[in-house]
Amino acid sequence: MKRLLIVESPAKIKTIKKFLGADYKIMSTMGHIKDLPTREMGVTRDPITLTYVAIEKKDKTIAELCKAAQSVDEVYLAPDPDREGEIIAWHVYEEIKKLVKNPKKIYRIAFNEITKSAVIDAIEHPHSIDMQKVAAQQARRVLDRWVGYEVSPILWRKITKGLSAGRVQSVALKIICEREEAIRAFKPEEYWSIHGLFKNGEGQLLAPLTNIGTKKAEIPSEEAAKKILADLQKAEYAITEINDKKRSKNPLPPFMTSTLQQAGYNNLGFSVQKTMQLAQNLYEGIPLGDGTPVALITYMRTDSLRIADSALKSVRDYVGKKFGDAYLPSSANVYEKKSKTNTQDAHEAIRPIDVSVTPDQVKAFAEPHQAKLYEIIWNRFVASQMTPANFAQRQVVIKGDKYVFKATGSTLLFDGFLKVYNVEEDDAGEDEEKVKIPEGFKKGADLDLKKIDPKQHFTQAPPRYSEASLVKELEKEGIGRPSTYATILKTICAREYTTLEKKRFVPTELGMMVIKLLNESFSHIMNLKFTALMEEDLDKIAAGELDRDKLLNEFYINFEKDLSAFKGSTGRASQPTNLLCPMCKEKNLAIRFGKAGEFVGCEGFPECSFTSNFARNEETGDIILVEKEKPQNLDLACPQCGKPMREMTGKFGKFISCSGYPDCKYILQNKAGFQCPMDGGDVCERKWRGGTFWGCKNYPKCKYALFGDIEETPCPQCKAPALLKKTDSKTGVVTLSCADKKCGYQR
């Protein structure tokens, strides 16, 4: 009997192939094969219908799947076990159902891990496509399509071209912008701290002033600090209390998607997108030992903390044998997500498939970053099924008149799970202050104050979001799904709504303006609670508790009203400032947007035509006018007209052009040392919003292009004239690869 098994990613094929016999042909959809059309809405209302078309360049994939399905007796649809995977399975089913010998022999299977037992078990227990999951995915897609396709064109008209709005993306951007507004509005306040160094014959101890009488010590100024210092110099000190207690520190649960993304960022320095890509590699399989791919972790898109009984037994056996009974709890540790909102329990937590495959074994074969991610997944999973760490905690209370100093220290009595996983970033704030209490410090003992250390401080503005802290905030608020976070973060940067400065999200003026408009006109969909509740409703559709069309129609009724009002408002959007126009001295300046980006212009335009570049004060957020850089003439003649060349600043940075513009439009370009392989034209370096690229001078007739840096070395495999060059910013390792993906050459 011939069988066809269809997976989502081609990387899984080698791993699965070794489990199944020659009767099975394994093919890949390479992601989605169909979607809503790109140039039209693709969704009608009353009744709601969706029009699907083949994704660009997927016609060949669909044809190959259909041809293969015709020649087999059974088809197993095995895309990823989530909503996106379910819609892919349904799209494949719709394409092949009329071509197979028996449509009843088309099965949906799913597995949480790519192991022989999991794959065989899935084949032995097939099921039909879950149309409720399909409906939930469709509802999400329609909601995003309505918001994106209806709102984005209006943003183009009101601000500038190329903008987009997104139901979840815009709410994430709103969180970043609100934090920026809080930073700009923040006014630092002065406060002081005082530490005393106390000593007796047995040792010394540094302790902070915590109380004055029964009240918390609050020192607002230097004057107040000096008054306290004068009192402290006169006082006599003694230890009035020594409090001893034991404290346990429990292990952390295994990873789910969001916590893995945070740990990847905080502990390994990986972006959210990189963490997910590496996890995908580990899930699909890494060649170990004999070169055969071995799947190392369970499915990486999950927000469940559940662990299969077989995995619990395996890890408990491992802990008992490796570390001894003292490290093994009497029963398995069970974890629940703190917030049960938006929890999908279809998959387990992220864990190693085989706990006996240790990080050291993987290091020998995997790429360094893959090995590092596997190590923290393995360590955290094993530690999650170990006993707590135990500490002895001692607090010393020192009094001098009404002034109270307290110091707390702890000693590790038993390391427990810390033997395997001891990462401070995961539970910041829970670690004990590293204070050593001298053994000779006893209750009632007199102490000498050897030194007083007063320090001035200022309250700090709330920090900007990093990738990790933004993911944490999105999860806390129930915004989106952990599996979508990487795409959200990528989109808001790609659209130039934010920049990353010192690994923190800083909204651009464009991003702030977009959110201002959306907040004013679409308060309903920009509400964080509304967005979180929508996620719950999508879960209800997947569970069969809510009708897809009922949800969509209710959403559109309010959305349509807001949309109509937004369309009706006229004029280009601008953001008023408190700066008086220096030209007319009558109107204030406002932030506006043009082809070259943001600028400030007089609100009295067209009567007053003043414009200027500007910057913001990093601390206060105030607008500062920046004088436009004047073109600099160079000692270089234009090869076309002979006039001097000059250095200019444009939208994408500096460039050199003829000073005779607009009569002469010559621009100096950096030419490659090879001709275009398509039409023989010159290949020149160009700049665009995404960076630099090399393209044929005969564009748009010829569309040959290489995006990124290049090395002018012919590809050894396909003889392409140049290789793409990528340098790892951390390691400095240079990777050269062929731009032709079909060639696949890389070194």
Please name the helix (run of DSSP H) or strand (run of DSSP E) that holds residue 96, with its range, or none. helix 83-96
Choose among 692, 517, 516, 508: nearest CA to 598: 508
The H or E element spanning position 727 is: strand 723-727
Quick one: the chain helix, strand, coil %, rounded to 5?
35, 25, 40
The 8-class DSSP code of residue 386 comes to: S
CA atoms in the 13 A half-sphere facing the CB of 253 = 19
Q: How far is CA 265 from CA 184, 379, 629, in A?
A: 26, 17, 39
Are the C-beta atoms of 18 and 523 separated by less than 8 Å?
A: no
Q: Is 191 a catalytic residue?
A: no
Scanning 400-504, the segments in alpha helix (DSSP H) are 467-477, 485-494
Residue 462: closest CA among 173, 180, 193: 180
Q: Dihedrals φ, ψ of 725, to 5°?
A: -120, 125
Measured in residues, the chain has a length of 747
Residue 255 phi/psi, 5° resolution?
A: -75, 145
Token output for 508: 């651009």
Long-range contacts of 286-292 (CB under 8 A, 24+ apart): 286/362, 286/365, 286/366, 286/370, 287/365, 288/357, 288/361, 288/362, 288/365, 288/366, 289/365, 292/14, 292/18
Q: What is the spatial distance between Cα 324 and Cα 499, in angstroms, rounded to a whole number?
A: 50
d(Cα 693, Cα 551) in Å, to the nearest integer? Answer: 45
Residue showing tokens 């408009």? 517
Please state, in angstroms and rounded to a whole number, the distance separating the CA atoms of residues 384 and 259: 14
| Number of helical (H) and strand (E) elements in the chain, helices listed first | 17, 34
* Amino acid, single-letter form, for residue 585: K
Alpha helices for 219-308 (secondary structure H):
222-234, 257-268, 272-284
Coil, strand or helix at 193: strand
Catalytic residue among 299, 374, 497, 556: 299
Contact 603, 588 (CB under 8 A): yes
How far apart are the C-alpha atoms of 494 and 690, rounded to whole Å? 8
SS (H, E, C) 614-681: EEECCCCCCEEEECCCCCEEEEEECCCCCCEEEEEEECCEEEEEECCCCCCCCECCCEEEEECCCCCC
CB burial of 398-430 (b: ≥16 within 10 Å; e: otherwise) equals bbbeebbbbbebbeeeebbbbbbbebeebeeee
Cα–Cα distances in angstroms (integers) from residue 136 to residues 132, 299, 333, in the given order: 6, 20, 33
Distance between CA 602 and CA 585 in Å, rounded? 10
Give yes or no for a cis peptide into 462 (omega within 30° of 0).
no
Amino acid residing at 9: S
Q: Are 240 and 399 in contact (CB under 8 A)?
A: yes
Judged by DSSP in three states, 290 sits in coil
Active site residues: 299
